[in-house]
A and B are shown apart, each in its own frame.
Chain A
């Protein structure tokens, strides 16, 4: 299946194969592509025109030298990605960023890593309240700012 956009065609199969290499299986979870995250990667990448441009360029550039990527073995796929990373660090960086972001917002991953998995707001977090006794020692120091 492929997702059509005004700018480019992004193959979900390629994105999925990339995800499988970037984020392998862990615990009871399969690799990121096999978790079905490619659709969400493509959707979210469209959340900003600039990023979408970078993302589609990354995929197109990758495809241009790796047209048979999905058919390669795991080791060869890794090699292809490593050489893309070296040749196009910015484009690769965009792919890695969106892959990590989508993976680490998935509830299944939250459960595996023990992360509470809610947005930072509105609940926030709880902290031990301020305790002035932490200053007992710092307060003993004589003023040392430079007089003018």
Chain B
């Protein structure tokens, strides 16, 4: 039986929990709650993906990667995508809309926050502390690692000790060792990455990675973890229902301002309503504030759960720079996952002598095949005309990269709001992004670029290219409905419950207080599991019938 066959129509019934969005966080919470006996329904605007049809097996995979499988929804333009106005942002948000959400296209590089990331105000006098600690989240990180399946190895001196990983690390490769050796020569930290990519068979019908390199197109081998392969099968087995092609227009409320469900447009274009005892927002750091703002009503005139005025504010991406080195030797650097073998956190914690607060992670990168290299990879395209062939010959199989993930601090003027004109294909206002890079972030990136050049020089690179801030790098969407203890200064409390509406929860990256300097998804999913656990323990009132 396919997952699609299991999807049943249940309009009319009131469900216990209505989850909006079937991505990283929606999958985790739905499985947890369904397994605890809650009646869970998820509305997802996209569809199930068939791994055997991912573009990596097509002879036109390079074209597909640039068009129908692009990471930017404004470029991909599938019917289920919504447009995003990015005219006032140097960074473009990227995502995927479907069962599995952005984990369909993600790299699955999965470091954790550091304990200090939850205490930036206390330690560094900037932004705000989280109302929770690393220790409170640790058991949920472990749980999530187990379900998603983590390749890696414990013992990293840059991080607190952690449980044994489910699988050994992905291989470093001869190409990776070039960078590793340079870090060692410089006396700088490096460690094999935690990755939610199978280095061995793990999970339900999920193979080991066969090093094709193209995990960002969807993983044909099912070696890369995505929630359609991990949490959703569990959720469905426990009775959860997903409605695909169901685009939510607004969260509905009663006269008292409590959530009553959602209005949505089904896959046939019909307007429908699904009623629920509670609603969980899991539509990501752009989709969630968009829906909350579009759900304004008499009881919530500025948008749902927005009495603080902070819905859509404090948008954080991770400012991303990319440094590429070309080596004189051929290293076949297209073999192996593009960005998942190792990282360095030498410059992670604050050192004020560097001229900025907080810090950054280096995520080591490989490269891909000839068309990708000709188109520039992470730098400018190879020149056309005379000299083209010589340059391609020089770079193919010889390029490595270092991505910089800097900590972007929350700023009120970085926002998501509703575009006054642009809409999606159902007429729902599209999100508009306004974002400027702070001086602190710029200083971090410049510091990182200078050090990355040292690494490449030490490693023997013949040419070094720098992209000082990648435009298409808004993969981490955070902060737009932040967590906090004070209802005047935050949207949700320490459990992800909105201060204004007791039966409305948010579990995606919107609730981040700060963004740390690592990829956010293990933290998003750990928080989602924690909120679900809280609902199980404390909110029996949301369960309609004994199951």
Contacts and interface: CB of A to CB of B under 8 A. Distances in A.
A44 interface: yes
Contact of B57 (A109, A122, A143, A146): A122
Secondary structure call for the B interface: loop
A122 B223 CA distance: 12
B173 A146 contact: no
A135 B153 contact: yes
A124 B172 contact: no
B388 A23 contact: yes
Interface string A134-147: 11011101111111
B319 interface: no
A84 to B, nearest CB: 12
A138 B190 contact: yes
Contact of A47 (B60, B75, B385): B60
A91 interface: no
Interface stretch (B42-50, B235-243, B369-377): B369-377
Contacts of A125: 210-213, 332, 334-336
Contacts of B133: 148
Contacts of A121: 54, 56-57, 210, 212, 214, 220-221
B168 A50 contact: no
A122 B57 CA distance: 6
Interface in A93-143: 93, 96-101, 103-105, 109, 113, 115, 119-132, 134-135, 137-139, 141-143
A146 B221 CA distance: 38
A147 B115 contact: yes
A115 B370 contact: yes
B389 interface: yes
Secondary structure call for the A interface: loop
A96 B192 CA distance: 37
A51 B190 CA distance: 41
B381 A101 contact: no
B158 interface: yes
Given A124-B211, A146-B116, A138 B191 contact: yes
B386 interface: yes
A124 B56 CA distance: 10
Contacts of B63: 44, 47, 98, 101
Nearest to A77: B385
A134 B364 CA distance: 16
Interface in B34-66: 54, 56-64, 66
B395 to A, nearest CB: 11
A128 B173 CA distance: 6
Interface string B87-125: 000000000000000000000000000111011001100
A27 to B, nearest CB: 8
A120 B336 contact: no
Contacts of A70: none
Interface-central residue, A49, A120, A122, A139, by most chain B CB under 10 Å: A120
B298 interface: no
A122 B219 CA distance: 10
Nearest to A109: B370
A60 to B, nearest CB: 20
A148 B381 contact: no
A48 interface: yes
A105 B62 contact: yes
B427 interface: no
Nearest to B59: A119
B114 A119 contact: no
B309 interface: no
A134 B180 contact: yes
Interface in A78-96: 78, 81, 93, 96
- A-B interface, 3 closest residue pairs, ranked by CB to CB distance from nearest: A124-B210, A120-B212, A48-B67
16 contacts: A24-B389, A44-B63, A48-B67, A100-B381, A104-B369, A105-B62, A113-B393, A121-B210, A134-B180, A135-B155, A138-B191, A139-B155, A139-B157, A143-B157, A145-B116, A148-B133
Interface of B: 54, 56-64, 66-68, 75, 77, 114-116, 118-119, 122-123, 133-134, 153, 155, 157-160, 168-174, 177, 180, 184, 189-192, 199, 209-214, 220-221, 332, 334-336, 348-350, 369-371, 374-375, 381-382, 384-386, 388-389, 392-393, 396
Given A44-B60, A125-B213, 7 more contacts: A98-B63, A121-B57, A122-B57, A122-B220, A126-B211, A127-B336, A144-B157
